[in-house]
A and B are shown apart, each in its own frame.
Chain A
Amino acid sequence: MLSKLLASAAMAAVLSSAAFANDGVIDVVAPFEIKGADPVTSGNIYIKMDIAEPLVNADAEGRLMPGLATEWRVSEDGRTWRFYLREGVLFHDGSAFTAEAAANALKIARAKPGLLETAPITGIEADGTDLVIRLSAPFAPLPAFLSEYRSLIYAPSAYGADGSVTTVIGTGAYHVTRLDAPLRLEAEAFGGYWGPAPAINRVSYQAVGRAETRALLAESGDADYVFNLDPASVARLKSVENVDILSVSVPRSLLIKVNGAHPALTDVAARRALSLAIDRQGLAQAILRYPAGADQILPPSIGDWHSDAVTPLTYDPEAARALLAGLGWRAGPDGVLTRNGDRFSLTLTTYPDRPELPLSAAVLQQMFAEIGVEVVIDSTNSSEVAVRHADGSLDIALFARNFALVPDPIGTFLTDYAPTGDWGAMNWNNPEFNALIAALARGEGGQPARNRAIEILQADLPVIPVAWYQQTAAVSTGITGAVIDPYERTIGLRQIRWAQ
């Protein structure tokens, strides 16, 4: 049996000489499956693979940069935005990128669910070679919204009559040569690209759901760039010679959403008690394996939305117990707090799509038990958080929220906290906070307004921050120039070269 096994493996080795890293193809591996050609469902992949481009780009600090638009200006009243478009740009089907094509793509994107839908847009039209967007109210983050992957610009021929997307026809440095949804995509350098030609002609993208397999692909050298490593694999890959680990703090936070109308949680002191019961550093170190306990909602790397002025959230179970005692809760016979015959028992809704969530939920369950709060974990479909938010049946939920679907977190604060949102506050309404966010959206208020907004969230705790995420990637030492972007927009594909 063994000799047969070895014989078949040896035979296989002969067949597979073309399957390894330096085969002229940059192989990118990530957990995200390709759901289709539509930017609304899979644009995050097409933007990372430099296949399609938006009007506005962003750098690693979240600063907006020219994309397919070279410049943009807003009118005096803040209601008309004019985007000056890049000239000499071709789509992959050879047609020219025009203002009409851009307007067409954005109108279709806007009709589908996404952030763009929430902007106060009244009209998108071509005006000569410019694109003009009219608003019903001033809206400063509009260019940031246009940089999102759901606002990628495809050629008019990519869309069916009903707005469905039939093929990927972008303007990027690579064009798709083979699309095997849901797992594989191959692309080649596009000869008509407007910018400098990429150094390496062929790239592939492979979705691999299991973290162990992704790590093994990095270790064996089959993949050149591997996204989203699990903590255990990071530790192991650090000792592998031909792999470098890149790591960056990302604007994604692990949060506990709290139903502000729940009888046990209406009082801010109760929410503060829950917050005090969490050993954030311990949880982050044990589960995420990096020291990133969240003492406020966003990490220091998101400069504008991190305030040094607020008092950090701390771990103090004694103080938590005292706060709850002050609210009239007394320990029952089984250690769970009771008040007027009601037990302090909460159902925590979470989802297993991110494997660290159910684990973190179990740790939180223990920490809350320490202060006499009973937690029942319900790990289910992610949409149940939204469903239970809508019908009011949610107690608390644990989730990982991305604050930078657009490079400016204001978009997420608008949809989640001013005043409530499926992935933010629930039954919480702070008029001052709403006014601050509305002003920031109009482009007023500046840093003092942002600091005050963070201070309000810190004091009121409509959500309880738990940890800040880091993104990790394994990059083969066979390539140079790869980057890890906190906004997950690029891996530097166009700049990657084979190492000498």
Chain B
Amino acid sequence: MIRALGYRAVQAVMVALLVGVLTFLMMQALPGDMAFRIAAGRYGYDAVNAQAAEAVRQELGLDQPAINAFGAWFMDLLRLDFGTSVISGAPVIDEIRHQLGASLQLAGAALALSLLIGPPVGVLAGLRAGGGLDRGLLLVSTALRSVPQFLMGLILIVLVSIHLGWLPAAGYGKPAHFILPALTLALGLAAVSARITRDAMAGVAASPFYAFGRWKGLSEPQLFRRHGLRNIGVALVTFLGLQFAMLVEGVVVIEAIFGWPGIGHALVHAIFGRDVPMVQGTALLLGLGFVVLNALVDLAAHWIDPRGNTEVRT
């Protein structure tokens, strides 16, 4: 276990270095004049012109070799300073805190909601593999999974907000604003986690030790608590780790539909506006976040199944 955590620590340092260098190189390799792109990002299409671009070039020293900027960024980073956004002028860390924070909140809510829906249904289906619920689940989860998220979002808005008038259609700032975007994401997630749980549960339920448990007189709930839960836990936790990572990156469409201030949206705009400090800071924090997430999944898997080599290398 110690070795595994040490491995993650080394991985974190490598990720930081690689992400810093790679994002910097990629931003340099993007086509177009950086000063013009930044001016367009700042002032919009009505006000970008050669004078504005020239002012940006002077202000940010873009006529200096780019390697100087990278050196300055790296030295700042050693002091845990992410610099300031070239578009808004605000500290990058504040922007990330707000926007990554909003994405994490939404992803967390979606994941929690999907946990309430997916695994319980999956367990019930897995215990009676081939039964009516199992076949119904296959149908519903396939259907939910194949509906594109933006369409699901629009359907929910029309249904819940327009026709029923129960929830705000979009926006940010109140607890009620969480529910529709989180539900949109959660339905897609639950469709998959229900299937994963169902397959794990069906495997466990068909195993000799499960049959033995039943034979020695344990009730179904007792049997599930003692022999079922832990055995499907590793597969589920590993999958949840993966899902969370995909969620944080992949909610751009949902953020756009629901007017949610997320990191995906921020990153896309930062790339269009050549906001190099913002892109570097965001990529770095996301990279480190995934390392931490993997470490947590390792720890959880180890706790669930302490039999030895269960580190999950994702």
Q: Which residues of A contact B52 (CB under 8 A)?
A: 113
Q: Are A112 and B55 in contact (CB under 8 A)?
A: yes
Q: Which residues of A contact B27 (CB under 8 A)?
A: none
Chain A contacts with B in 339-374, Cβ cutoff 8 A: 351, 353-354
Q: Are A217 and B171 in contact (CB under 8 A)?
A: yes
State the CA gap A18–B175 with chains docked (Å).
10
**Given A41-B88, A212-B154, A220-B157, is A9 in contact with B169 using a C-beta cutoff of 8 Å?**
no
Q: Are B170 and A217 in contact (CB under 8 A)?
A: yes
Q: In angstroms, how far is the closest chain B Cβ from the Cβ of A398?
A: 12
Q: Which residues of A contact B39 (CB under 8 A)?
A: 113, 383
Which residue of the partner chain, among A113, A399, A401, contacts B55 with CB atoms under 8 Å?
A: A113
B12 proximal to A (CB < 8 A): no
A40 proximal to B (CB < 8 A): yes
Q: In angstroms, how far is the closest chain A Cβ from the Cβ of B282?
A: 14
Q: Which residues of B contact A8 (CB under 8 A)?
A: 113, 179, 183
A20 proximal to B (CB < 8 A): yes
Q: Are B170 and A114 in contact (CB under 8 A)?
A: no
Q: Are A183 and B177 in contact (CB under 8 A)?
A: no
Q: Are B170 and A184 in contact (CB under 8 A)?
A: no
A382 proximal to B (CB < 8 A): yes
Which residue of the partner chain, among B48, B89, B154, contacts A38 with CB atoms under 8 Å?
A: B89
Q: Are B171 and A384 in contact (CB under 8 A)?
A: no
Q: In angstroms, how far is the closest chain A Cβ from the Cβ of B192?
A: 14
Chain A contacts with B in 1-46, Cβ cutoff 8 A: 1, 4-5, 8-10, 12-13, 15-16, 18-20, 27, 29, 33, 35-36, 38, 40-41
Sorting the interface of chain A by its residue count into under 10, 10 to 19, 20 to 34 or 35 or more gives 35 or more
**Given A36-B89, A207-B259, is A387 in contact with B177 using a C-beta cutoff of 8 Å?**
no
State the CA gap A382–B113 with chains docked (Å).
41
A78 proximal to B (CB < 8 A): no
Q: Which residues of B contact A40 (CB under 8 A)?
A: 42-43
Q: Are A13 and B33 in contact (CB under 8 A)?
A: no
A73 proximal to B (CB < 8 A): no
**Given A1-B140, A181-B88, A421-B49, is A9 in contact with B272 using a C-beta cutoff of 8 Å?**
no
**Given A210-B256, A213-B170, A220-B161, is A383 in contact with B40 using a C-beta cutoff of 8 Å?**
yes
Which residue of the partner chain, among B117, B121, B168, contacts A222 with CB atoms under 8 Å?
A: B168
State the CA gap A250–B232 with chains docked (Å).
63
State the CA gap A184–B43 with chains docked (Å).
19
Main secondary structure of the interface of A (DSSP, over half): mixed
Q: Are B49 and A423 in contact (CB under 8 A)?
A: yes
B261 proximal to A (CB < 8 A): yes
Which residue of the partner chain, among A10, A18, A36, A209, contacts B256 with CB atoms under 8 Å?
A: A209
Task: Look across to chain B and name the residue whose beta carbon is closest to the beta carbon of A416.
Answer: B49
State the CA gap A38–B172 with chains docked (Å).
23
Q: Which residues of B contact A209 (CB under 8 A)?
A: 256, 259, 265
Which residue of the partner chain, among A4, A16, A208, A210, contacts B117 with CB atoms under 8 Å?
A: A4
Q: Which residues of A contact B37 (CB under 8 A)?
A: 381, 383
State the CA gap A206–B39 with chains docked (Å).
24
State the CA gap A208–B161 with chains docked (Å).
17
Q: Are B88 and A35 in contact (CB under 8 A)?
A: yes
Which residue of the partner chain, among A182, A212, A384, A422, contacts B49 with CB atoms under 8 Å?
A: A422
Which residue of the partner chain, among A114, A180, A382, A386, contacts B261 with CB atoms under 8 Å?
A: A180
Chain B contacts with A in 155-205, Cβ cutoff 8 A: 157-158, 160-162, 164-177, 179, 183, 187
B135 proximal to A (CB < 8 A): no
B36 proximal to A (CB < 8 A): yes
Chain A contacts with B in 374-432, Cβ cutoff 8 A: 380-384, 386-387, 389-390, 399-402, 405, 415, 421-423
Q: Which residues of B contact A16 (CB under 8 A)?
A: 166-168, 174-176, 179
Q: In angstroms, how far is the closest chain B Cβ from the Cβ of A232?
A: 13
Q: Are B89 and A222 in contact (CB under 8 A)?
A: no
B47 proximal to A (CB < 8 A): yes
Q: In angstroms, how far is the closest chain A Cβ from the Cβ of B161?
A: 4
Q: How many A-B residue pairs have CB under 8 A?
A: 192
Task: Look across to chain B and name the residue whose beta carbon is closest to the beta carbon of A42.
Answer: B88
State the CA gap A19–B98 with chains docked (Å).
22
Q: Are A208 and B174 in contact (CB under 8 A)?
A: no
Q: Are B176 and A12 in contact (CB under 8 A)?
A: yes
B69 proximal to A (CB < 8 A): no
Q: Which residues of A contact B98 (CB under 8 A)?
A: 180-181
Q: In angstroms, how far is the closest chain A Cβ from the Cβ of B103?
A: 13
State the CA gap A38–B59 with chains docked (Å).
16
B51 proximal to A (CB < 8 A): yes
State the CA gap A16–B88 with chains docked (Å).
33
Q: Are A206 and B172 in contact (CB under 8 A)?
A: yes
A216 proximal to B (CB < 8 A): yes
Q: In angstroms, how far is the closest chain B Cβ from the Cβ of A91?
A: 21
Which residue of the partner chain, among A5, A9, A164, A220, contacts B168 with CB atoms under 8 Å?
A: A220
State the CA gap A221–B167 with chains docked (Å).
10
A53 proximal to B (CB < 8 A): no
Q: Which residues of A contact B170 (CB under 8 A)?
A: 208, 213, 216-217, 222
Q: Are B169 and A217 in contact (CB under 8 A)?
A: yes
Q: In angstroms, how far is the closest chain A Cβ from the Cβ of B101?
A: 11
Q: In angstroms, how far is the closest chain B Cβ from the Cβ of A255?
A: 13
Q: Are A183 and B179 in contact (CB under 8 A)?
A: no
State the CA gap A431–B161 with chains docked (Å).
60
A130 proximal to B (CB < 8 A): no
Q: In angstroms, how far is the closest chain A Cβ from the Cβ of B303?
A: 29
Q: Are A9 and B167 in contact (CB under 8 A)?
A: yes
Which residue of the partner chain, among B50, B167, B173, contacts A386 with CB atoms under 8 Å?
A: B50
Q: In angstroms, how far is the closest chain A Cβ from the Cβ of B260?
A: 8
Q: Which residues of B contact A381 (CB under 8 A)?
A: 32, 36-37, 40, 272
State the CA gap A423–B175 with chains docked (Å).
44
**Given A113-B39, A180-B172, A217-B169, is A222 in contact with B161 using a C-beta cutoff of 8 Å?**
yes
A485 proximal to B (CB < 8 A): no
A230 proximal to B (CB < 8 A): no
Task: Look across to chain B and name the residue whose beta carbon is closest to the beta carbon of A8.
Answer: B183
Q: In angstroms, how far is the closest chain A Cβ from the Cβ of B20?
A: 25
State the CA gap A29–B258 with chains docked (Å).
12
Q: List 22 A-B contacts (CB under 8 A).
A: A5-B183, A8-B179, A12-B166, A12-B167, A13-B164, A19-B168, A19-B176, A20-B168, A112-B55, A114-B47, A117-B51, A183-B261, A209-B265, A213-B258, A382-B45, A383-B32, A383-B40, A390-B50, A400-B45, A422-B48, A422-B49, A423-B49
Task: Knowing that A16-B175, A213-B259, A382-B45 touch, tell me 5 more A-B residue pairs with CB under 8 angstroms.
Answer: A38-B89, A182-B266, A353-B44, A383-B39, A422-B48
Chain A residues at the B interface, C-beta cutoff of 8 Å: 1, 4-5, 8-10, 12-13, 15-16, 18-20, 27, 29, 33, 35-36, 38, 40-41, 112-114, 117, 164-165, 178, 180-184, 186, 204, 206-210, 212-213, 216-217, 219-222, 351, 353-354, 380-384, 386-387, 389-390, 399-402, 405, 415, 421-423
